[in-house]
Structure 1
Amino acid sequence: MVNIWVTGLFMESLHKVSAGFVFAFLCLHMANHFVGLQGLDTHIAFMAVARMVYRHPVVEMVVLLAFLLQMLTGWALAREIWMKKKDFVHQLQAASGAYIAVFAITHVAFIFYVRQLVAVDSNIYVIVAGLMQSGWMYALIPYYGLAIFALFVHMGCILFDIFKKSLRPVSWGLLVTTVGIGGYATWLLMMFYTGHTAALHVPQDYFDLYPLIRMK
């Protein structure tokens, strides 16, 4: 019993440490997306500057390692939550974390394919090209939309956990507010990246990444 408790405590500590690096990257990454609401050209310009930071070989390796640790320790913590059948907020935290992990693995794999094997710049056009095609959008809108929403839900659960012992009403307020903001942010980005709020002009090379069910 003591060994299990120590192991769980170690996993939680490691999860929190790696979360700091992941959170810093995600703040920069999501800022890039929200800047994109001013136009894809603005997004590309911001990304060129941001890449000077997160594409530095050392930084990139640290971030990837942090993501790996997050997924490994997160799985152990989520498994404990499900086995012990903890409360609703813990279940929500585990479920959102699990989806973020699945998304991270598949998204990084796809970006690696685009960047290394196809040799196309892995910018926002990679996502927009898929979201703007009726053959792919039905799968990609929930795929990307749930990832954004899950990120806010997970953060809301963390804020709830921080304040639940000392300020219980505040903790619920932070959870509901964060989830609400996440829903709005998800809708806003999905509307923009599907071309509903502004005309988007995507180079043909990016549409060619989705050949199997492309609608002509």
Structure 2
Amino acid sequence: MESLHKVSAGFVFAFLSLHIANHLVGLQGLDTHLAFMAVARMVYRHPVVEMIVLLAFLMQILTGWALAREIWARRKDFVHQLQAASGVYIAFFAITHVAFLFCARQVPGLDTDIYLIVAGMMQSGWMYVLIPYYGLALFALFVHMGCILFDIFKKTMRPVSWGLLVVTVAIGGYATWLMMMFYSGHTVALHVPSQYFDIYPLIHTK
């Protein structure tokens, strides 16, 4: 089970590295983000690549849930508990986020780019739901990676392993804060096409 989790993790990590890089580039402006995304999509939206990534995510979720249950059943140490909890939230986010994007793709003429997310974050009602939803997902990813680094070095260099965990979590917290402040329009003015606000009809104001 753990071996399958590690194999699929390689594909997931490659995709997430590209995906997060795309978002971090967005800190330079939405135009920069969209230009980077246009190139990145040539890779991850290729039908074969997209199918491999989706299957890898599915494998991660199934094997990850089994491993998390084992951690909780055996009441392993704090770091393992943290790794399991962060992994479960990442799985929950992946399922709901992909479902949301799939539904949004069905809307004629709507591109499922960053404007889709920004439109919700910039509305006073939805932002209280979406900022924790997206922010916790990004932070959980860093926490999960920190736990993995801890596990790699804990037997040979335990002080280093704790340092890597703390630094990775700290970087994740700062990156999450930057991203949420930017994409909610708190750092620079963001001009979102009006059709994206229509995805959130319950609180849409004209």
Instruction: Name the TM-score, length of structure 1 as normaliser.
Output: 0.94
Partner of 1:87: 77
Does the alignment pair 1:198 with 2:188?
A: yes
Q: Which runs of 4+ in 1 moved over 6 A?
A: none
Corresponding position: 1:26 with 2:20: no
Q: CA-to-partner distance for each residue in 1:89-108, whole Å, 9 max, x for gaps? A: 00000000000000000000
Question: 1:107 matched to which residue of 2?
Answer: 97
> What SS does the corresponding residue of 1:59 show, helix, strand or coil?
helix
**By how many angstroms is 1:135 displaced?**
1.1
How far off is 1:82 after superposition?
Answer: 0.4
1:48-87 to 2 correspondences below 5 Å: 48-87=38-77
Q: 1:128 aligns with which of 84, 105, 118?
A: 118
Q: Say if 1:136 and 1:214, in contact at 8 Å, map to a contact too.
A: no
| Distance in structure 2 (CA, Å) of the matches to 1:89 and 1:142 | 22
The code of the aligned residue for 1:105 comes to I
Question: Which runs of no fewer than 5 residues in structure 2 stay unpaired?
Answer: none
Extract unaligned runs of 5+ from structure 1.
1-10
| Identical columns (%) | 82
Shift of 1:191: 0.6
- The Cα of 1:213 is off from its aligned counterpart by 2.5
Match of 1:176 in 2: 166
TM-score under structure 2 normalisation? Answer: 0.98
Q: Is the 8 A contact 1:135 1:213 kept in 2?
A: yes
**What is residue 151 of structure 1 aligned with on the other side?**
141
Deviations 1:23-52 (A, max 9, x none): 000000000000000000110000000000
Give the distance between the partners of 1:174 and 1:46, measured in 2 at CA.
30
In 2: Cα distance, 1:42 partner to 1:209 partner: 24
- Deviation at residue 74 of structure 1 after TM alignment: 0.0
Measured on the aligned residues, the alpha-carbon RMSD in Å equals 0.9
Aligned to 1:164: 154
Cα offset, 1:116, TM superposition: 2.7
- Other-structure match for 1:8: none
